[in-house]
């Protein structure tokens, strides 16, 4: 599934040790741009996606899977991103303004050729 929105919060990276070895998880909050915006907490596991390249306010498209699991009679649901792509400029990551002015097409220089 895909979801478009802007990053409104980057949560701290969590690490730990499991039965399969060490793990790392980074979560972020995405707000959709709908008429009635929704907030979704999305997790990035391991080192597959470098979230340090994104900033709060960045518009992104997130490809993710939804997965539920049972533990001690309770069900837990995760939204796990497998791809995050920036979608243009934001206030924090704006392109520089275009250059303005005039360029003289025939400069007066004294080149010998």
Across residues 76-97, what is the average pLDDT? Answer: 75
Nearest by Cα to 65 from 49, 81, 76, 50: 81
pLDDT at residue 105 is higher than 90: no
User: Residue 99's pLDDT is what?
Assistant: 45
DSSP E strands: which ranges in 1-113? 2-10, 14-18, 21-31, 39-45, 59-71, 74-86
Which three-class secondary structure state does DSSP give residue 80? Answer: strand
Q: What confidence category does residue 39 fall into, taking pLDDT thresholds of 50, 70 and 90?
A: very high
- pTM comes to 0.73
Whether 81 and 64 have beta carbons less than 8 Å apart is answered as yes
Does domain 2-86 fall under CATH 3.40.50.1370? My reply is no
Domain assignments of the chain as residue spans, ordered by start: 2-86
Q: What confidence category does residue 111 fall into, taking pLDDT thresholds of 50, 70 and 90?
A: low
């Amino acid at each position: 599934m895909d979801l478009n929105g802007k990053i409104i919060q980057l949560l701290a990276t969590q690490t730990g040790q499991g039965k399969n070895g060490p793990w790392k998880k980074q979560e972020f909050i995405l707000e959709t741009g709908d008429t009635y915006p929704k907030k979704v907490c999305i997790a990035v596991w391991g080192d597959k996606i470098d979230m340090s390249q994104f900033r709060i306010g960045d518009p992104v498209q997130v490809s993710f899977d939804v997965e539920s699991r049972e533990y001690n009679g309770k069900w837990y649901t995760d939204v796990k991103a497998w791809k995050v792509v920036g979608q243009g400029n934001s206030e924090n990551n704006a392109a520089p303004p275009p250059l303005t002015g005039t360029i003289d097409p025939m400069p007066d220089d004294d080149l010998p050729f």
